[in-house]
Structure 1
Amino acid sequence: MKLKKIHHVAIICSDYERSKDFYVRILGLKPMNEVFRAERNSYKLDLEVNGQYQIELFSFPEPPVRTSYPEAAGLRHIAFEVDNIEEAVIYLKKEQINVESVRIDPLTNKKFTFFADPDDLPIEIYEN
């Protein structure tokens, strides 16, 4: 077996409308398909990042909370590439998003920082 690329990342949110607004309006991801699955009382929203299907946003009634931030076993964070980290940080702060201080990756000398989605899922932005 040869893996070719990451196909998508699935995110479960606790407040669908709030998370949809965050990922669509604030982060600028483009909705591709939205479905309400009545049998599960659940929404599924497929989102595109720069022309590629990459994120599935799910809602489920009363999902359990994340066990720790971010060192629990499992997915640690999601990371997006940006051209200019300072511009991205200014934009996020204007949207009332708390952003950590920009750091330098000691292995690549690239700038990066973290912020959180409405359910405290850690999100990294990494300058290309």
Structure 2
Amino acid sequence: MELQRIHHVAIIASDYETSKAFYTQVLGLRILAEHYRAERRSHKLDLALPDGGQLELFSFPEPPPRPSRPEAAGLRHLAFVVPDVAAAVKDLTAQGIRTEEIRVDEYTGKRFVFFADPDDLPLELYEA
């Protein structure tokens, strides 16, 4: 087997329209396709990531909340590469998104910062 790259990451939103606005307007991801699956009462939104990967945003009736943060078993966080973390933090702050303090990776010396999506899913910006 030869893995080449991540194809997509899937996220289940508690409020589809709020999360759709966050990922398309705040983070600027482009919509590839959007579907409503009536039999499941579920939306599915495919968003393009800059590297060719995708983010899938789903809605389902009454999804259970994330068990704990940030050390619950499973996906810990989703990280995006940015050229300048400080500039990205200014952009997020201007849009009313709170971020943690910028930190420095002790192994690489690169700057990074955490923030959250509308469902409190931990997201990270990591400086290239």
Question: What is the TM-score when the length of structure 1 is the normalising length?
Answer: 0.98
Task: Please show how residues 76-115 of structure 1 align to structure 2 within 5 Å.
Answer: 76-115=76-115
SS of the residue 1:91 aligns to: helix
Q: Which piece of structure 1 moves more, 2-11 or 56-65?
A: 2-11
C-alpha separation in 2, matches of 1:44 and 1:54: 12
User: Are positions 1:34 and 2:34 aligned together?
Assistant: yes
Structure 2 residue runs without a partner (length 5+):
none
Aligned residue pairs, count: 128
User: Are positions 1:63 and 2:63 aligned together?
Assistant: yes
% same residue: 59
Please tell me whether the aligned partners of residues 82 and 126 of structure 2 are also in contact (alpha carbons under 8 angstroms).
yes
Letter in 2 for 1:32: L
Structure 1 residue runs without a partner (length 5+):
none
Deviations 1:59-92 (Å, cap 9, x if unpaired)?
0000000001110000000000000111100010
Question: What is the TM-score when the length of structure 2 is the normalising length?
Answer: 0.98
1:16 alignment counterpart: 16
C-alpha separation in 1, matches of 2:13 and 2:102: 26
Runs of 4 or more consecutive aligned structure 1 residues displaced over 3 Å after TM superposition: none
Query: Pairwise CA RMSD of aligned residues?
Result: 0.8
1:25 alignment counterpart: 25
Please tell me whether the aligned partners of residues 46 and 53 of structure 1 are also in contact (alpha carbons under 8 angstroms).
no
